[in-house]
Each structure stands twice: as C-alpha cells, then as structure tokens.
Amino acid sequence: MELRTLRYFVAVAEELHFGRAAARLHMSQPPLSRAIKQLETEVGASLLDRSSAGVALTPVGAVLLDEARALLAQADRMRVRVAAAAGAAAITVGILGDSTDPGAARLADAYHRRHPRVEVRVRETDLTDPTCGLRAGSVDVALTRGPFDQTGLVVRELRADPVGALLRADDPLARRDSLKLADLADRRWFLFPEGTDPLWQAYWNGGERREGPVVRAVQECRQAVLWNGTVGMTLLDHEPAEGLTVVPLVDMPPSRAVVAWKQGDTNPLIRSFVHIAIAAYRN
C-alpha cells in the first residue's frame, strides 16, 4: 500500500467525486479510478459506493480515511523533521493586504505547534498582486483572495466572506440597510493600477468599468473614500475607520479567501501548511 495511492484515496474521499479529485491531483480520471480499484483489491473490501447519485464512503472506507490521514500526516512530519535536520526547514508565506484575519492567526498558532523548528518568513503584499508574489517566485505559498488567473497554480478555497460598499458615514446611501450595484453606478470607485490581474480588478469593481483614483493598499482605499467620497467594496465584517461605514451589497458574490501554491511543488512544508490552513479557517 503506497503513500501515493493513499493520497489518491484521501482526495476522492474528501471530494466525493472522481472528476474533482482528479483535478485536485492534476491527473486524468481513468488512472485515478484504476488506482482506487487496485487499493480496494489490496484491502479486500469496497471503499466507495458508486452510484448515479454520486460517491459515498463505505464503513471500511471511513476507517481507511482516518488511518490514511494519520499516516500521511506522519509522513509529512517525517519529511519536515529531516529537512530541519538538514538545515532546510523554512517557508515563505505571502499574505494579501491586511493580515489581521483571525483565521490567519489560528493558522500561525497551529502551524507553529505542528512545526516549531520551521522558520516562517512572511511577505505582506499590497492589493496589486493577488498571488502575493507566488507567480514571481518570491513566496512558497499565498494566503489571499480570488478571483485571479490561476494558470500554473493550485488554489483551495478556505472561506467565503460577504462584501459591502465602503462609504463615508455621511453619504446618503450610508443610511440604507443594503445596496445593489446599480445604486453605485454613477459613483467614482477606487481602482487598482493598470496591469493588475483583470479578474481581480473586475471583481472589486463590481464587474463594470469604473472611473476613480488609483490605490494600492487597504489604507489607501479607506483614505480615498474618506477624503474624496469615492466608493468601493470591502469585506462586510471589516471594522471601518472613523468616518466610514460599510453597507451590505446584496447582488455581489462573496469574496473567497484561498490558499494557493505552484503546481508540481511537492515541498512537504507547503502540503502541511495547506492542510492546517483548511482546518484553521473552518474553525
């Protein structure tokens, strides 16, 4: 029973869908199906119930999932300890804009407990690069937000956060319980610089072409609203600065917090980081 096959099984068991698991593993579906069938032959029992309704774990599969997760986590810890002994235990994490997210704080605490000898270098980036330097090679893994061009990257969603319009507190629209994008159609929005990922720019501009001041950082967004009456979007649960308020935008999809890393990167520190991040943000 190979660790690689167990990783395949865990992916299928967590996704409960062969197609999604194959995409997650960056492989085609037929060899994944063959690997799972071979694993069932080795175990001597069915691990998954396959039907037109989807895929479900059998009782044997549920037991194997728990054991496989524990074994894979132990294998990752072994690789990390060996890397630490060789003096190579370090990881660079890119964090977008505002690093006060409690999920990131839980992640930092959990990662330190799991890997106390690993040096974590943090690179906080502005809003012009949603990959936080990942594509440029200056970080190993990124805690960021979508959407952005995912070419050559692996992206896992951590959490979906509702968004709202950031307004001056004395703005007439600030008295509303909620807003739609159409309510802001004739307003100036803060924009990101030319060359910023177009998917990222389009989301934070509500899917429309806008006019307004160019900003690069979270604080610049807030100051553009405070000084000029500009509008824009922000996370609904972000505490606005004095003189500002946030009103829910009911027709905007949520902002998705994600963890991202480069395709093909097998660094066990990154794999462990991703697993711990998913658990930390779910909590």
| Span(s) in the chain for CATH 3.40.190.10 | 89-158+256-282, 163-253
Is pLDDT at 283 greater than 70 in this prediction?
A: no
Q: Model confidence over 207-246: pLDDT tens digits? A: 988 999 999 998 899 999 999 999 999 999 888 889 999 9
Mean pLDDT, residues 243-261: 96
Q: Cβ of 197: how many Cβ atoms within 10 Å?
A: 17
Report the percentage of the chain scoring pLDDT > 90: 56
pLDDT band for position 88 (cuts 50, 70, 90): low
Mean pLDDT, residues 87-94: 81
- What whole-number distance in Å separates Cα of residue 281 and Cα of residue 167? 28
pLDDT band for position 154 (cuts 50, 70, 90): very high
Instruction: Report pTM.
Output: 0.72
Enter the tokens of residue 81: 């300890």
Architecture of the domain whose range is 89-158+256-282: 3-Layer(aba) Sandwich (3.40)
pLDDT of residue 75: 80
Phi and psi at 165, nearest 5°, equal: -85, 130
First to last CA, the chain: 32
* Residue bearing the bigger pLDDT, 109 or 86: 109
- What whole-number distance in Å separates Cα of residue 142 and Cα of residue 193? 21
Mean pLDDT, residues 113-135: 90
pLDDT band for position 166 (cuts 50, 70, 90): very high
- What whole-number distance in Å separates Cα of residue 173 and Cα of residue 193? 27
Is pLDDT at 122 greater than 80 in this prediction?
A: yes
Mean pLDDT of the chain: 89
Architecture of the domain whose range is 163-253: 3-Layer(aba) Sandwich (3.40)
Q: Give the angle subtended at the CA of 206 by the CAs of 202 and 212, to the nearest 5°.
A: 80
Mean pLDDT, residues 77-104: 75
Q: Which helix (H) or strand (E) holds 61?
A: helix 59-85
pLDDT band for position 119 (cuts 50, 70, 90): confident
pLDDT of residue 87: 56
pLDDT of residue 243: 94
Mean pLDDT, residues 41-54: 86
CATH number of 3-83: 1.10.10.10
pLDDT of residue 63: 92
Q: Model confidence over 10-43: pLDDT tens digits? A: 888 888 888 888 887 778 889 999 999 999 999 8
Report the percentage of the chain scoring pLDDT > 70: 95
Is pLDDT at 83 greater than 70 in this prediction?
A: no
Q: Exposure pattern of 38-64 as b/e (b: 16+ CB <10 Å)? A: ebbeeeeeebbeeeeeebebeeebeeb
Mean pLDDT, residues 4-8: 88
